[in-house]
């Protein structure tokens, strides 16, 4: 096993970004993809990404050439034998990922680590059937991987004790912030982000405008409102993530898929990538007179979801706050919102919302045990 070698399987946008991250940190990277065109174009796409950084003055030409020299495209997982860490970044399909890990563990060293970049699939399920399930973890990078500072580190119940320290050591030169996450649907960010969008969608269906809600959040210090963030990511992508979490959490009303989001995705007006979204290309404008009430409602549900996750174990208040600020670029994390608004005010707002909730949302606003005084 070569401690300076990293393997990346899957050379789509995320995979190429991960290749760039490790090669920029000085690692030798072996990269592959099951699709020949992805392998054939990998070096060109990486070179183009680095060239844009050179043009922006963020990277020297010499460093760009050195990074490219550390990347070698190889023919399949069977050529990954030397790597200390092998990361898959392929389609979110459990059987496909299992097959990749099964092939990898036949060739890599016993003390090498397997990692998945999944954003949604359970790591424990991915490990089932492996000869050494204890060396598989989740390493969830955020897009674009070279720019985003957060990586969610996900252990499952059978992760071997030696694995996490070794992962942290391998990740140290990369310069990312690793946050320990429970092996639960959505991990931290994708789960705790749902109320940021969901409560805004609930307000939209109650007759409020998307622009007014975004303006309220901007006035409270948020860089993007919930609808502008949906427009940035894409309504179709947001819908898929929401539907996936809704299924994983048994259809609980906290993960309700709002009709307004389905309709937006079905309309084809997906956001920036199509030229029109909930708000884009317009600006939100001035905040409404009840902006503080809108912020309280959204922050109350953010804090409540974070508290429910905290009650399940495997993370901390500080970890959740850091992950949400880095992963969503929020000005404050859910528990910082709780502290700023005050627990009594948050609980009162949740009680008000639960009392007014329509039948299909009953139970959505019940407070987590962490919020209720003993």
**Catalytically annotated residue among 190, 228, 246, 304:** 190
- Please confirm, yes or no, whether 190 is among the known catalytic residues: yes
CB neighbour list of residue 129: distance below 8 Å, 6 or more residues apart: 98, 102
Give yes or no for a contact between 144 and 17, defined as CB atoms under 8 angstroms apart. Answer: yes
**Catalytically annotated residue among 24, 64, 119, 246:** 119
Tokens read off for 12 = 């789509």
**Catalytically annotated residue among 140, 238, 246, 304:** 140
CB atoms within 10 A of CB 370: 17
Give alpha helix (H) positions in 194-258. 194-205, 210-219, 226-233, 235-248
Residue 46 buriedness (CB in 10 A; 0-12 / 13-18 / 19+): buried
Residue 368 buriedness (CB in 10 A; 0-12 / 13-18 / 19+): middle
- With b meaning 16 or more CB within 10 Å and e meaning fewer, what string describes 12-43? eebbbbbbbbbbbbebbbbbbbbeeebbebbb
Distance (Å, whole) CA 43 – CA 22: 14
What's the N-to-C CA distance of the chain in angstroms?
A: 52
- With b meaning 16 or more CB within 10 Å and e meaning fewer, what string describes 93-127? eeeebbebbebbbebbeeebbbbbbbbbbbbbebb
SS3 of residue 87 by DSSP: strand
CB neighbour list of residue 194: distance below 8 Å, 6 or more residues apart: 186, 242, 245, 254, 255, 305
- Please confirm, yes or no, whether 152 is among the known catalytic residues: yes
**Catalytically annotated residue among 105, 152, 299, 336:** 152
SS3 of residue 7 by DSSP: strand
Give yes or no for a contact between 214 and 225, defined as CB atoms under 8 angstroms apart. Answer: yes
Write out the catalytic residue numbers: 119, 140, 152, 190
């Amino acid at each position: 096993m070569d401690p300076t070698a990293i393997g990346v399987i899957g050379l789509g946008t995320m995979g190429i970004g991960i290749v760039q991250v490790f090669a920029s940190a000085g690692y030798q990277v072996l990269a592959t993809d099951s699709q020949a065109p992805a392998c054939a174009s990998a070096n060109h796409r990486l070179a183009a990404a680095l060239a844009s950084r050179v043009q922006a003055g963020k990277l020297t030409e010499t460093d760009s050439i050195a990074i490219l020299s550390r990347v070698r495209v190889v023919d399949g997982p069977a050529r990954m034998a030397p790597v200390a860490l092998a990361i898959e970044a392929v389609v979110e399909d459990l059987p496909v990922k299992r097959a990749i890990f099964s092939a990898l563990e036949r060739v890599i060293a016993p003390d090498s680590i397997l990692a998945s970049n999944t954003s949604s699939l359970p790591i424990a399920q991915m490990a089932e059937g492996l000869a050494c399930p204890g060396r598989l973890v989740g390493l969830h990078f955020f897009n674009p991987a070279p720019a985003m500072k957060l990586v969610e580190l996900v252990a499952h119940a059978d992760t071997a004790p030696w694995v996490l320290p070794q992962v942290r050591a391998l990740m140290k030169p990369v310069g990312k912030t690793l946050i320990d996450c429970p092996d639960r649907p959505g991990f931290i960010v994708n789960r705790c982000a749902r109320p940021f969008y969901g409560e805004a969608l609930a307000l939209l269906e109650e007759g409020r405008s998307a622009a007014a809600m975004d303006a309220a959040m901007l006035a409270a210090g948020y860089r993007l409102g919930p609808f502008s963030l949906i427009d940035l990511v894409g309504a179709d992508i947001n819908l898929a993530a929401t539907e996936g979490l809704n299924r994983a959490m048994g259809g609980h009303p906290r993960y309700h898929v709002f009709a307004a989001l389905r309709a937006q995705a079905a309309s084809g007006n997906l956001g920036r990538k199509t030229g029109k979204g909930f708000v884009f290309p317009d600006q939100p404008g001035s905040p409404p007179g009840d902006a503080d009430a809108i912020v309280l409602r959204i922050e109350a549900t953010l804090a409540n979801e974070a508290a429910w996750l905290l009650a399940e174990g495997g993370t901390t208040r500080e970890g959740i706050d850091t992950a949400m600020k880095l992963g969503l670029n929020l000005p404050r994390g859910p528990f910082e919102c709780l502290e700023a608004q005050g627990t009594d005010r948050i609980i009162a707002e949740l009680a008000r919302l639960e009392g007014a909730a329509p039948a299909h949302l009953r139970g959505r606003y019940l407070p987590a045990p962490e919020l209720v005084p003993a």
